[in-house]
Structure 1
């Protein structure tokens, strides 16, 4: 029987994979670490544990977005206020 949270896990994986393309250490580094994290936890069957892991993954996604916005802000600030 397929887990009803599978679609949410796949969506999170794809979202993190997309966000990882801009990772400072490189997309390949991020992809390898992401794959290892998901593979390590693939045997978890408890729905509550899966929901906690999904919440942690969504937190990581929000932190990555904040990192990218901050980097973009710093680049724009550098262009306009140095001179």
Structure 2
């Protein structure tokens, strides 16, 4: 897959993950949009690859936060703590 397609896919994934963001979707969308705009003029393929890897790491971290949030909610619901 080309780097352009990977960047677009990363952006779509981040926007999808942002739907459950605690501060709201518009806040998350603005932050993601600004981050992508900041790096829009990047032409070095190695640096673009590094930015894509960082974006994928951020996606994994967001997913982990959501899983932890769900785990804690279930634990509170079923166990006395």
TM-score (norm 2): 0.95
Give the counterpart of 2:52 among 36, 51, 54.
54
Q: CA deviation at 1:24?
A: 1.3
What is the alpha-carbon root mean square deviation over aligned residues? 1.1
Match of 1:39 in 2: 37
**Unmatched runs of 5 consecutive residues or more in structure 2:** none
Counting only pairs closer than 5 Å after superposition, residues 1-83 of structure 1 correspond to structure 2 as: 4-82=2-80
**What do the CA deviations read for 1:28-77 (whole angstroms, capped 9, x no partner)?**
11000000000110000000000000000000000000000000000000
**Unmatched runs of 5 consecutive residues or more in structure 1:** none
TM-score (norm 1): 0.93
Structure 1 segments of 4 or more deviating over 4 A? none
Q: CA deviation at 1:82?
A: 2.4
Aligned length: 80
